[in-house]
Amino acid sequence: MILPFTTELRVRHYEMDALGHVNNAVYQNYLEQVAIEHSEHLGLTLDVYRRLGGVFVMRRVEIEYLRPAIAGDILAVSTWLQEVRGTRAVRRYEIRKQGEDHLLVTAEALWVWVEVATMRPRPIPPEILTPFLDSR
């Protein structure tokens, strides 16, 4: 079983849209933040990425908005790797209000490992794959 990594984020007032809900575009920031924290939790810091000469970039994201969040809400943002193959990693996401079961958002993103010098896709290095696979 793949265990999700979860972080908590507080919704800030400036993230609201005209209806008083979190702006849809802000949710992508939340997805990127939890992915970064998940990597760091596994010891895969920006320094590790620099040493390996690569970085993950989000190539595609699909977000389903189910319920709104508002300023002051504490969100539990969870992610896990669903699939890893070659240059690609598929991440799944769920966002809930802290302490509640109802989903606010579900999402899936395709991340691609690219070589920084060329910005071309490259196979994900074993130094990156191993911590993710060992955390299952």
What rounded mean pLDDT belongs to the chain? 95
Can you tell me the mean pLDDT for 99-104? 96
Q: Rounded CA gap, 103 and 123, in Å?
A: 34
Please say whether the beta carbons of 67 and 95 come within 8 A.
no
pLDDT greater at residue 3 or residue 55: 55
The CATH code of the domain at 5-134 is 3.10.129.10
Which pLDDT does position 136 carry in this prediction? 65
3-state secondary structure 70-121: CCCCEEEEEEEEEEEECCEEEEEEEEEECCCCCEEEEEEEEEEEEECCCCEE
For the full predicted model, state whether its pTM sits above 0.85: yes
Which pLDDT does position 134 carry in this prediction? 80
Which pLDDT does position 132 carry in this prediction? 87
Among residues of the chain, what percentage have pLDDT more than 70?
A: 98
32's tokens: 């990127």
Give the residue extent of every domain in the chain. Answer: 5-134
Query: Does residue 78 have a pLDDT over 70?
Result: yes
Which pLDDT does position 129 carry in this prediction? 92
